[in-house]
């Protein structure tokens, strides 16, 4: 959870409201499973918690990166104490055994507390502003995607605010992120964040081809042949072109090859008008993947 929500309270027993909702969403996305709020309060916040069912332990183990509960127990060895209800043969603890279990447990609790305090005081909030390389204006809208890349971790996806800013709480000193925006070239950004400089500006270079296709679809141009020739030069012969349907249309996608797309873009009575580019990918100076939708009204 701290990988997806760096500022989350390190004490699970103190989670409530939004933290529980965030955990439920994480489990749905990562392992296609769900826990109820009642289950969380019963097993995580109760003063006398009961032992969870093995199927729930399997779900949480998968979320933590293991195959199941047995895999978690096997790989963590002596670092965990398996609940008696899940052991094949319950055993009582002698005074000596209790000592050797309680002392490491207390030590681990102290370490966890110190780590929590370290994260609390070391975590800072940074603001990244995305601007157009040509105009210097903010890249507004809510479709600028930021993919955080941490070594040894799965990518974490975020979206910028409508004003073109992105706020991030982190204790890391080095950030690596991929930034994608419909009318701009994707870029991998590396930042050494400074504790006393919490505002960073990131410049995005416009995707001229995506802008041109949008322009072709929203303006009335007389020279259709010239428009067709320009599209021929911009698009790869084997390009995959997808039209994402609007809510009022049939669900799914329509797939075009290069020639079909150009024909519908360059014939005066063609159906592809007022295109909004969702994403594009380039290779060897040509578009190889294009996703778009048709707006009902021009903005």
Q: Give the C-alpha separation, 151 to 244, whole Å.
A: 33
Q: Are residues 184 and 230 in the same domain?
A: no
Evaluate whether 178 touches 187 at the Cβ level (below 8 Å): yes
Evaluate whether 275 touches 264 at the Cβ level (below 8 Å): no
Number of domains in the chain: 3
Residue 5 falls within a domain, yes or no?
Answer: no
Q: Are residues 113 and 145 in the same domain?
A: no
Q: Are residues 223 and 159 in the same domain?
A: no
Q: Give the C-alpha separation, 209 to 284, whole Å.
A: 13
Q: Are residues 101 and 127 in the same domain?
A: no
CATH number, position 167: 2.60.40.10
Indicate yes or no: pTM above 0.85: no
**Three-state SS for 87?**
coil
Which residue among 90, 121, 152 closes a domain? 121
Residue 7 falls within a domain, yes or no?
Answer: no
CA dihedral 247, 252, 258, 263 (to 10 degrees): -50
Residue 6 falls within a domain, yes or no?
Answer: no
The confidence score (pLDDT) of residue 90 equals 45
Q: Are residues 176 and 257 in the same domain?
A: no
Q: Are residues 132 and 224 in the same domain?
A: no
Residue 147 falls within a domain, yes or no?
Answer: yes
Q: Are residues 109 and 80 in the same domain?
A: yes
Which domain, by its residues, includes 261? 208-294
The confidence score (pLDDT) of residue 204 equals 92
Q: Are residues 173 and 232 in the same domain?
A: no
- 229-266 pLDDT, tens digit per residue, is 889 999 999 999 998 887 655 567 889 999 999 888 88
Q: Are residues 117 and 144 in the same domain?
A: no
The confidence score (pLDDT) of residue 99 equals 56
Which residue among 204, 237, 252 closes a domain? 204
CATH number, position 221: 3.10.450
Burial of 251 (0-12, 13-18, 19+ CB in 10 A): exposed
Which residue among 151, 180, 204 closes a domain? 204
Q: Are residues 127 and 82 in the same domain?
A: no
Residue 299 falls within a domain, yes or no?
Answer: no
Residue 156 falls within a domain, yes or no?
Answer: yes
The confidence score (pLDDT) of residue 205 equals 92
**Three-state SS for 260?**
helix
The confidence score (pLDDT) of residue 100 equals 61
Residue 43 falls within a domain, yes or no?
Answer: yes
DSSP 112-135: HHHHHHHHHHH-EEEEEEEEETTT
Tell me which DSSP letter residue 57 carries: H
Evaluate whether 292 touches 275 at the Cβ level (below 8 Å): yes
The ranges of the chain with pLDDT < 50 are 88-91, 93, 121, 298-299
Evaluate whether 198 touches 158 at the Cβ level (below 8 Å): no
Q: Are residues 244 and 146 in the same domain?
A: no
Q: Are residues 92 and 130 in the same domain?
A: no
**Three-state SS for 195?**
coil
The confidence score (pLDDT) of residue 299 equals 41
Burial of 231 (0-12, 13-18, 19+ CB in 10 A): buried
Residue 89 falls within a domain, yes or no?
Answer: yes
């Amino acid at each position: 959870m701290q990988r997806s929500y760096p500022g989350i309270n390190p004490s699970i027993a103190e989670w409530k409201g939004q933290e529980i909702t965030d955990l439920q969403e994480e489990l749905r996305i990562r392992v296609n499973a769900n826990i109820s709020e009642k289950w969380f309060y019963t097993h995580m916040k109760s003063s006398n918690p009961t032992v969870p069912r093995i199927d729930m332990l399997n779900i949480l183990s998968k979320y933590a990166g293991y195959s199941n509960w047995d895999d978690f127990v096997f790989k963590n060895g002596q670092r965990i104490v398996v609940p008696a209800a899940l052991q094949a043969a319950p055993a009582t603890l002698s005074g000596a055994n209790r000592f050797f279990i309680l002392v490491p447990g207390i030590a681990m609790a102290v370490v966890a507390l110190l780590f929590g305090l370290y994260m609390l005081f070391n975590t800072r909030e940074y603001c990244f502003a995305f601007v157009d390389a040509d105009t210097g204006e903010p890249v507004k809208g809510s479709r600028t995607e930021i993919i955080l890349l941490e070594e040894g971790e799965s990518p974490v996806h975020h979206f910028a605010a409508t004003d073109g800013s992105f706020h991030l709480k982190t204790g890391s000193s080095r950030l690596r992120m991929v930034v994608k925006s419909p009318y701009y070239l994707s870029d991998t950004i590396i930042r050494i964040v400074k504790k006393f400089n919490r505002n960073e500006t990131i410049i995005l270079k416009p995707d001229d081809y995506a802008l041109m296709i949008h322009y072709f679809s929203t303006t009335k141009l007389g020279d259709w042949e010239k428009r067709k020739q320009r599209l021929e030069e911009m698009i790869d012969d084997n390009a995959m072109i997808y039209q994402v349907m609007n809510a009022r249309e049939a669900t799914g996608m329509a797939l075009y090859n290069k020639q079909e797309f150009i024909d519908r873009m360059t014939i005066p009575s063609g159906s592809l008008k007022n295109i909004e580019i969702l994403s594009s990918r380039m290779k060897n100076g040509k578009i190889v993947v294009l996703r778009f939708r048709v707006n009902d009204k021009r903005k």
